[in-house]
Chain A
Amino acid sequence: MSAPENMAPGNPASGNHAPGNPAPEGAAPAGKPPEKKPPAPSAVGEVLTASGISVGGKYIGWSVCDTVRKEGGSGGLVTAVLAGALEKGLVKHVVVLKKSSQYEAVPVLTSDVDDVYASAGSMHMLISNPTKYLRQFQNDAAIALAVKPCDMRGIREQQKRNMIDGDKIFTIGLNCGGTMMPYKIRKVTEEVYGVNPADVRAEEIEKGKLILETTDGEHHSQSIDELEEEDNGRRENCRYCAVKIAMNSDLACGNWGVMPDYAGKGTFVEVMTEKGAEFLRNAIEGGYAEVKEASEAATEARGKVNGIMLKMSAKTKEEIFVPMQSKTLIDFKKELENCIGCGACRTVCPPCACGNEAKCTAFDDPADSYDISLFHMVRFLHLMDSCVGCGQCSDVCPVDIPLARLYRKFANPIQDELNYVTGMDDRTPPFFEIKLEEVQ
């Protein structure tokens, strides 16, 4: 994986991981990480014991098991923690990805540790949000899963609405620079890379390039910036997403901040909660993982990568959300004219906590020939404070209405004004506040 100092500011999507595929697949050599210290070390000191782990601590970790390190890149720490939690009984189930090709996977719940090991490898093309899937098991046995920041924001919003029991969910957040639409990348694979999609064995994002590894071991790479010029790169909402490190999860993992000495062999992990510390201690005690204290330089580097990403997001945000000209109502009518009322946008929406009988659908009647449906008006309002910007709505819209952009159009001004970042903490959603002063 890329070392931060090699990362030019034009490398947006470096080091992002999809959920369930804890560690990115890389060419990590087997065996222990090298003992000699390079000029800017990632980690300092000796391998820590479980008692050395505390909330707020930043570490570099890796899996003790050779195979896990080989299969999952970046040291396989995420896989190790998940496997440890499952085998030691901290959780009953883990949500993993069942891949059927490099472009296709489904999230499934498993209590088989082999499934956890098998799910290693990065997958930027899996773009579902597990929140609604998880909600089915909300009060059931404890579940662990790896999440992107937006997944976790959805889970937090459901928690605030008492639909998911936070005590029973353990999450490992993965740094995320963005995800990509599988059908677009598949097309690009054929047309831009000139590679048969069936031959693609693995994918990787490194130094702003999307690298496809074919079965013959060849690496094919293209600049993500160039792909994005043709709208074939990351999804639109990823390009202006403002949360790249999942600080809202229990353990925030990723390879940002991992220096060359541990590149591909170690994961940078920050312990966000007491539960996170418990799970990491469990992995160490159980002999699944080893960690060392992260160096100042590593922490700094991680912040730097994050800063670059956020800056780019802010720039894209400015480009996309230009103030509308006059007659905006006509623009909205135009955007929504093709809506067929399938309701998929609401079904997939991670923060939407209403059931079948929701305000947006209960009073919306297809027999009313309004210019703008009540459904959309209510959704616009409800998402003003709760939109997590995951873009699931746009992904499933059968007539390609840029819903995420429309929702953000309403959400951005009020979330900015109220200084409210949805799904990052336990703060009451502003719409539920009693006094306006508390909102502001």
Chain B
Amino acid sequence: MSGIIDPNFKENVYSAVCYGCGFGCGVYMRELHMDVVSGAASACAASTDAASTDAASTAAACCAPILNIDYRKASPVNQGKLCRFGVHLADNYCPAVSSVKGKPVTVDEAIAQAAAALKGAAASEIAILSVGGTTNEEHLALMKIGEKLGVPVSTGMTGLFKDIGKLHAYTGRGTTYEDVESAKKVYLFVDPYVQYPLLARRLVHAKEKGAEIVSFGLKELPIATKNVAVKPDASFYDIPEFAPDADTVIVSDLTPYTSSKRLAELVELAGGKSKFLFMRPFMNAAGAGYLSKHTKQRSFDDIVSKTESGELKVLVCLDSDLIDICLNEKMKEILEKSECVIVISSRATTVCDSAGIVIATEPFYKKKGSVMNAEGRLIQTRAALGESPLTGFNALSSLSEALGGPALDFDAVCAQVVSMLGASEDEYKVSVPEKKAPPVIQKVSDKLPELPAVFMGGADPASCPSASKEDCCCSVSAKHLYLTNPFLWNGISDNDDFVEISRGQVKAAALFKGFTADVTCACGEITKKTRFKVSPMLDGYAISTRKQPFAKGPFADVSVKRSPTKPDEPDVVKDCSQ
């Protein structure tokens, strides 16, 4: 860097929680306010190096603070360790800009517009969504606004519990990562490497202590002592290897795509004996879920379908990106057509582009408040050096006032959060409100439906013209699934632009290393030249960890064929017909 540090050089450090998933990793975010006097361009070039993982990689960001991560080694959750998403947290952060109909405005103006829109709509025409992308305090503030409007705040997970009734008593609050480490048996229903990477470490420790780790899924995991291939639509009742007992910790996750049927089966089979650890996809999904536990919420598919039909006029999203969460291109169109979408966000995410009103709040790392992770641990985020501006909370308070409600007091809301969650304020302790006698587990899974259609893809496969039958044997059909991960949920691209398929399928499709594949979806759309990776997994499936153009929803039927690359490419078709 060829600049000099200006006399007003300032450095702020915040003790934050990574927003990649609900694991609750502690991280320090460091803001360097450095006035680069000379050689701005070269300073930018230098600042892109890995050591100073910063946001100033674009020329425009030169005046913005340089952002770095620091490892918070005293964190009880991750001991400072971070996954790929966390390590690049600073690079991927892009602040939101307040806007109305795409034009930048001040926060106050955006709040006034939002209040006007909300006042103009009936309670039945408003939906409020907060999946847990921000602190408990902001979620609770939004709940207060919702109460004023007579609209409950949805967390997107209702669909899961609505049908299972009392089963949420088993959602594993209080099962800590230490419990996983000391378990005798761990049943895995997630891919820790991709979905919740920091969990892998706990499993490594469990394995060292002699635990049996059984992975149920499509892919073989090196961490597992036993891999059981389970198709996503198979009932757990049909899997003899699934025999949980009192020493078992069952690790699964609760996402909008979790099938309530599968979830109910898990709980029924465990019979109240085993411990559950339910991972969460969003930073504060657990906190938001427990705060909104008793409210009558709209389910995700209800919000999506009613927005589409125009029944919902105003949609408020608090740090919740519907487009990214739904993995659905159609969602973008729906929101763009929708009358009024109000986004309150600390980051510029995909939905900000389609929203009518964007209320920008302070960066996630500057937020003061608490976040509850998958264990049920309440983690306080705070400034270690510098100030917490509380703009997000104040914006919600102003919105409340504009709607005729009271101004909100931060300290009061903080206290209310702690009492509502019944959690210890000490992040080193996980406390659970006293448990009532667990309800008797009734078998409900056979009555539950599979996932709602809204998630099933861009178009109904039945209405699509069936993909033309290949005249060559060198094509395989597969079910395409997304392996959800922090990058996918947050709409951030990583270097994972490939499809994972099994070696058997690679052979069947005569794919060569270094070559690419053409993937056709059931609707006939072709994505050419997709890279592929050979993975130890079940035949007949294809897995992606990033949004693929050929898969409009989380589940899609595709066929994979080797793509012709060069004009002088060798003729393999002839070879495989022999």
Question: CB < 8 Å: which of A352, A396, A398 contacts B197?
Answer: A398
Supposing A181-B73, A340-B84, A369-B535 touch, asked if A141 and B51 sit within 8 A by C-beta, the answer is no
Is B531 interfacial (CB-CB < 8 Å)? yes
The residue on A at minimum CB distance from B66 is A136
Q: Give the docked Cα–Cα distance between A396 and B197 (Å).
A: 13
CB neighbours (8 Å) of A198 from chain B are: 426
CA distance A211 to B198 in the complex (A): 32
Q: How far is the CB of A106 from chain B (nearest CB, A)?
A: 5
Instruction: Mark B190-204 against chain A: 1 for CB-CB distance below 8 A, else 0.
Output: 000110011011001
Question: A340 contacts B74, CB within 8 Å?
Answer: no
A344 touches B87 (CB 8 A): yes
Cβ–Cβ < 8 Å partners of A182 in chain B: 73-74
Assess the A340–B87 pair: CB atoms within 8 A.
Answer: no
Which among A127-135, A248-256, A417-425 touches the partner chain? Answer: A127-135
A: which residues have CB within 8 A of B? 92-93, 98, 100-101, 103-104, 106, 108-109, 111, 125, 127-128, 132, 135-141, 181-183, 186, 197-198, 337-338, 340-344, 346-348, 352, 354-356, 358, 365-369, 395-400
**B534 adjacent to chain A (CB < 8 Å):** yes
- Shortest distance between the CB of B157 and any CB in chain A (Å): 26
If A340-B193, A400-B205 touch, does A98 touch B222 (CB 8 Å cutoff)?
no
Are A128's CB and B73's CB within 8 A?
A: yes
How many chain B residues have a CB neighbour from A under 8 Å?
60
Which one, A137, A186, A197, contacts B5 given CB within 8 A?
A137
In this complex, which of B71, B75, B204 has the most chain A Cβ atoms within 10 angstroms of its Cβ? Answer: B71
User: Is the Cβ of A140 less than 8 Å from the Cβ of B384?
Assistant: no
Q: Is the CB of A140 within 8 A of B74?
A: no
Interface residues of B in 378-398 (CB under 8 A from A): 384-385
Q: Can you list, as one digit per residue, whether each of B523-567 has a CB less than 8 Å from chain A (1) or not (0)?
A: 000000001111100000000000000000000000000000000
Besides the contacts A344-B87, A347-B53, A367-B498, what 9 more A-B pairs have beta carbons closer than 8 Å? A92-B5, A98-B385, A100-B15, A106-B28, A125-B74, A128-B73, A132-B51, A183-B73, A356-B50
| Distance between Cα atoms of A209 and B248 in the complex (Å) | 39
**What are the residues of chain A within 8 A of B13 when measuring CB–CB?**
98, 106, 108
Q: Contacts A104-B72, A399-B204 given: A369-B52 contact, CB under 8 Å?
A: no
Q: How far is the CB of A366 from chain B (nearest CB, A)?
A: 6
Flag if B533 contacts A366 (CB, 8 Å).
Answer: yes
Min distance, Cβ A427 to any Cβ of chain B, angstroms: 23
Q: Which residues of A contact B223 (CB under 8 A)?
A: 337-338
Q: Given A183-B74, A340-B200, A399-B204, answer yes or no on A347-B51 (Cβ-Cβ < 8 Å).
A: yes
Closest CB-CB distance, B132 to chain A, in whole Å?
22
The residue in chain B whose Cβ has the minimal distance to the Cβ of A132 is B51
Q: In the assembly, what is the distance between CA of A177 and CA of B74, in Å?
A: 21
User: Residues of B contacting A399 with CB < 8 Å?
Assistant: 197, 200-201, 204
Show 13 residue pairs from A and B whose CB-CB distance is below 8 angstroms, ordered by the A residue. Answer: A101-B74, A135-B52, A136-B47, A137-B1, A139-B2, A181-B73, A186-B74, A338-B223, A340-B83, A340-B193, A340-B197, A344-B87, A347-B87
Is A355 within 8 A of B50, CB to CB?
yes
Contacts of B11 in A (CB 8 A): 108-109
Closest chain A CB from B47 CB (angstroms): 8
Using Cβ atoms and an 8 Å threshold, which residues of chain B touch A366?
495-496, 498, 533
- Min Cβ gap B229→A in Å is 18
- Asked if B79 CB lies within 8 Å of chain A CBs, one says yes
